[in-house]
Structure 1
Amino acid sequence: MKKIAVDAMGGDYAPKAIVEGVNQALATFSDIEIQLYGDESKIRQYLTRTDRVSIVHTDEKINSDDEPAKAIRQKKQSSMVLAARAVKEGRADAILSAGNTGALLAAGLFVVGRIKGIDRPGLLSTLPTIDGNGFDMLDLGANAENSANHLHQYAILGAFYAENVRGITKPRVGLLNNGTEDSKGDPLRKETYALLAADANLNFVGNVEARELLNGVADVIVADGFTGNAVLKTIEGTALSIMGQLKSAIENGGWKAKIGYLFLKDALRSMKKTLDYSDAGGAVLFGLNAPVVKAHGSSDAKSIFNTIQQIRTMLDSQVVQKSVEKFSIKED
């Protein structure tokens, strides 16, 4: 049985969306057990399942505007910290939260703990591509600055994830840069390129430009945390803007636009689904001793369900244990 600790109070629509997603997951997967951390009276309003689910009551929670490290230190009875502690102590196998991102990163580092040999865990998410296959990208903001060695580790971790969780054989690894030539980039990108090219265990395909990301140019994209976070928000914002503009054009375009919509409705729905990153689950703080997964703050029940499914696959594939073994060998 896979035991997943869930911060029921984190996120814009908590606990309703969190618990409804848990209900769906429990109904779909018979091999998971959910531990819900938060206000019991509020959680029970939405909990329809009674089997393989438990509630650990606490009145304390970490708010979206709390200073991350300070919140972890001072709010030791918060739903997020209690869930992280359950993972640390072996009472749960993974933690899921849609709450304060910085606080979850801090809880992952200070409570769950990083893998020996990993200098700085990175935030990884699967982002959409036009062909529907998606790509994994890290770091997406766990670290403001990175060294070439950090980026090399991200390439290894990302390839591990793509192979074990997404089932991609010899995943193609690309380095996000301002040009495809091997001579392009600042000193960090040039040094990283040399490290990735020299690693025979990686299927390194070279530098990748941002404009090619959604075209499926690689299965794993490596970036420093600052750049990765900027790219993530650009992709999210562009997708939302495009769909918003299409909706506005249809609504304000008169009867011809509305008739055209009737013919294009299925195609537009397919386009929206292609751009919907929530289907892939949450962002993984990869490089820790257990899966620590951050769902989007605005997650609905569907997103929470998909994130639990993602965690289940991670536990099934033992991707964390395999990465622990990989970096332990490197340390030795």
Structure 2
Amino acid sequence: MTVSGSPLQRAERFCARYGMTVPVVEAPMAGACPPALAVAVAGAGGMGANGVVNDPPARIAEWMETFRAGSSGPVQLNVWVPDPPVDDPERVAAAERFLSTMGSIGDPKGPPPDFDEQCAAMLGARPTVVSSIMGRFDDAYVRRLHGAGIAWFACATTVDDALAAQDAGADAVVAQGMEAGGHRGTTDPADAESTVVSLFALLPRMADVLDVPIVAAGGIADGRCLAAALTLGASAVQVGTALLRAPETGIDPGWSAALVGLAPERTVPTRAYSGRLGRAAPTRYVTAWNDDGAPLPAPYPQQRGLVARMRAGEPGTVDRANHWAGQNAALATTDPAGEIVTRMWSEARALLG
């Protein structure tokens, strides 16, 4: 069981293990994790991060070099475990026709980065943690990580997936609740809509059955959320949406504005950006896919490729950036990232006594 000791004792053990002083891990948000943000989070005592699903090996190495130039602190690199290929040309064609009503579709980009090459690049970059989402690493890669002194964190949205990750050698489980912004980390894409379990329902059960530490993800936006997550069995939290409006993140201004005052119930689960389910702000583009007569988005990664082609052309009503948003988006501030992390931990410590 992971609940041994008080919440503060668990957090202290986790921090000591990973070279942190604050139990806050930056969420590895692909496309919204510049090195400056990771440096700021690590500088405040947390763990920086980068999501590399779209990055070729050279970009992974370059990002890590830039981070290390600014920080010697802990850092996580995250990658998606690839989905089995889906061959549904009619669905792809319908999505393409629907997108063409919103703007002009540009030329296709090159092939996506090779997963095995990404894994090798992450190993070579020697981060503190390599993490997986949408699946689990194979035994051979886990052995290579551990042999290099790199921990493996595995994202899980269900208790069964958490147990499977632990059995496969994960050093920690990232418990992702349905409140989380961005992509839903289900192993099977088809399960994403049906496994909509809240973080605070997942945490106690996972804490009762897991031996490895739990990192809580989903709706963690201030010290109250952090204190509650630790109380329910987490050893640390992973924070994404709460950092999106920080100056170091530098997201698209329209995306930042969409988060202001965004009520929890107005965030939208959508496959419109990539074909994989994620939680976003209800932009005109996102809501169009729920209109009568709208087709299903193409499967991943075809939908992501189509959206990229729209952005390369004249996107019209297609969002310039994916407007991901967790259910506590309204709590995101424009304060510097280090201040956000420091304040969150100070508030949590006061609540936990």
**Same fold flag (TM > 0.5):** no
> More helix by proportion, 1 or 2?
1
- TM-score, normalised to structure 2's length? 0.29
Larger radius of gyration: 1
- TM-score, normalised to structure 1's length? 0.30
